[in-house]
Every structure is written in structure tokens, then in C-alpha cells.
Amino acid sequence: MAKTLKTVLAEARSVIPEQGPAEVQRRLAAGERVVLIDVRDPDEHREGFIEPATNISRGFLEFRVAGVAPEPDTPIVLYCQTGLRSMLAARALAELGYTNVINLRGGFQNWVQAGLPVVKDKVMGPEQIQRYSRYFLLDEVGEQGQRKLLRSKALLIGAGGLGSPTALYLTAAGVGTIGLMDADVVDVSNLQRQVLHTTAYIGKPKVEPGTRTLKVLNPDVNVVALPTRISVDNAMEVIADYDIVIDGSDNFGTRYLVNDACYMAGKPHVHGSIFQFEGMASVFAPNKGPCYRCIYPSPPPAGLVPSCAEAGVLGVLPGIVGVIQATEAVKLLLGIGEPLIGRLLTYDALGMRFREVRLRRDPACPLCGVTPTIKDLSGHPIGEDLACEVPPAGLPASVEVSSSQA
């Protein structure tokens, strides 16, 4: 005798646990390694979904689930509109050997009724589909990943040597909002490496040619020109509007301020610095690895370091490091790959060598350590001219290759 749907659901519920919207939201917010799968049809998904869900409609689940959950013990949460289809889908995955599958109780409908955040994407036009077609071919990105980039917001501190290539590639990638923050004007000496600017804009604020160049490159992108310097007074307010911060600054005060503000705001930031023929890059993500102060506990005394003009820099060097920063930013925004968290990537242009140094969180760090002493942004030397970054005294030899000039 054929089983009724009610009987099948009852059997599925006897073996598949459920969690309510609040518990699933807590797990996602805590950064747990959870694969969230929306088993509704694509047209339902486009009307609104829970981020960061992957849409695999029920009919294709068994064929495609290995692409997002390759291991049988991967924690998986499934949902549909009301929780019925996803319950049956969860039972099917359990029968395939998946041992850690949970159903979202009440489905998407219950999530919405609980007042939890949902995402609704705009339909892409033909020109956008063509522009981003190469991303659609990547399983790790696809149409959903591109939509996520278009919703993302990235703040660039500095529109100079590092900020120029970073801004160009993030704009080309379709990161929906780019904040371009720089208080300087274009100088003829910038043009050897700062590829956002041209001779026609000498003497103009850097954010002016920067904004024009980026808008011409990709009209989809909203470029927010911020012709001011980041400061103790505006840092937290500005950073709050963005998902990620890319630091291309050229002085110690700004680097420490960006690091501390991002940590306090819970925002990851991508660090990059250059000096003569050497560069370095890393990612500092709050509570996931060390921060900038774990490597450099405090800046060196003012006047100890050479000025940027005295030190010099190979013009193509910031292009290499800036592209690395852009790569890390895209990975972080999409949640793919292995970011440079807890790793310092160094580059020697003369020797054409990359080297990776493992970094550990410092328990004595004044910001993210066990007993932090820095709890707000007061006391920052942001007004001091601390010039370029050179290895402060007391650093391990393994990281003393790092220095900065943007």
C-alpha cells in the first residue's frame, strides 16, 4: 500500500532534526561552518532568499550537493518555502550518507515572519549578463556570486599606488559600491604608479579622476567619493557603511587607525604595503586571526623612518600588491577560497619571489589580546607625519621584509 505524504513526512521528521529561524541565524552570525541550501525553484529564490544560501532546486539536489558539501559530515541546513520540500530533501541527503543535515523549521516563510533579514536580487539585464559571463562559468562564483558582488560595498583607504589597481579590478568585478577615500591631490610624481590618474588631473583631488575612471569602466558600480582623510572622528561612521575595507594608505597613523576601527566594527580589512622593490599583503579579520598590532605592536618613534620621496618605489610594484589586495577582497566578499588570514605574503620584485610567513595571534596584543588595553580610538597618532613603514625594532626576522610606500 502506497504511503501518504503525511506518513512520509512523519517518517522524515523522525530522523531529521529541525532548527528554528533564530537558532539558524545565530549559527550563521557566529560564523559556523554551515552550508545553507535553498531547495526552491530559481524563480522562488530570486524573489527573496536567506544569505548565504546556495540555490539548488529539489530536483537537482542529489546531483549537485557534492559541489557545496563534499564531505558526508558537512553541517547542512536546508530550507524551502514552508519546510515540507526541504524536509523530504533532507531525508534524501541522509539516505545518501550525509550525517549532519538539519531542516529549517517552517522554511523561508517562517524566517520572514520572524523578521530576519532576506535578500532580493534585481533581475540582470542582457548587458550585465554579457559583462559578467566569465564569472557565471565559475562554479565558485556563478550568477549568485555575481549578484552578491553587486550588493557588496568596499571601502578603499587611499587612491594612490595601491588603491588604483585595487579600485580598477574591484570595479571591473562588479562590486556594487566602491568608497574612494583620499584627501590628496594628483601630483606629477604620482603618475609613475598611480594608474587611476592622468596628466590632465594634476592639481585636482584624487577622488575626482578616480571616480570618473571607475564609472567609465563599469556604470553598474556606485562610486562614493570621499575627499577627506580618515580620522578618529569619522572612522567608525565611515567604516560602518561597508562590508570590507582595503587599506592602501602610506603612513603609520592611518594603518593603526584602520586596523583598530575595523576590529572594533567587526569588519575585515585587507592590508597592503610597498617599499622600493618589496611588497607585502595580508588579511586581518576580527576574531579569525591576528590583527596588524599582533605584528607591529606600536609604531616607531616619529622621524625614525625615511620619507616616501627619499625611499623611492618601483612603479609597477603597487600594481602587483594592489591586484593581490583586490583578489583577497573578492574572495572575502564571496566567501570562497583561503584568504590571507594568519598569513603574510611578501613579494621581492628584483628576485621575482613570493614568500609566505605564518602569523599567530599575540595573546599580549593591546587590541585583540587576552587583556586588551585599547578599547576605543582615542590617542591615535593620526595627525603625526609617520611617513613610510619600515620594520620596527623587536619584530621577528621572518616578517622584517615588510615596509611601505604608497
Q: Check which CATH number belongs to the domain holding 190 and give it.
A: 3.40.50.720
Residue 331's pLDDT is what? 95
Residue 124's pLDDT is what? 83
Residue 306's pLDDT is what? 60
**Which three three-digit cell numbers place residue 38?**
535553498
Within its chain, how far is the Cα of 361 from the centroid?
20
If you ran DSSP here, which 8-state letter would residue 65 be given? Answer: G
Residue 382's pLDDT is what? 57
Q: How many residues does the chain have?
A: 406
Residue 244 lies in a domain: yes
Strand order in the sheet with 54-55: 18-19, 101-104, 76-79, 35-38, 54-55
Our count of domains for the chain comes to: 2
- Same domain flag for 156 and 252: yes
Alpha-carbon gap, residue 129 to 354, rounded angstroms: 36
Residue 302 lies in a domain: yes
Q: Check which CATH number belongs to the domain holding 107 and give it.
A: 3.40.250.10
Q: Average pLDDT over the chain, rounded to whole?
A: 88
Q: Which residues of the chain have pLDDT under 50?
A: 1, 383-406
Q: What is the pLDDT of residues 266-284, one digit of tens each?
A: 999 999 999 899 999 999 9
Alpha-carbon gap, residue 72 to 354, rounded angstroms: 36
- Same domain flag for 85 and 160: no
Residue 163 contacts residue 153 (beta carbons within 8 Å): no
Residue 403's pLDDT is what? 36
Residue 394 belongs to what H/E stretch? none
- The residue segments making up the domain with residue 363 are 152-399
Alpha-carbon gap, residue 227 to 334, rounded angstroms: 28
What dihedral angle (degrees, nearest 10) is formed by the CA atoms of 385, 235, 268, 293?
40
Domain boundary among 50, 85, 113: 113
Model confidence, pTM: 0.75
- Same domain flag for 266 and 387: yes
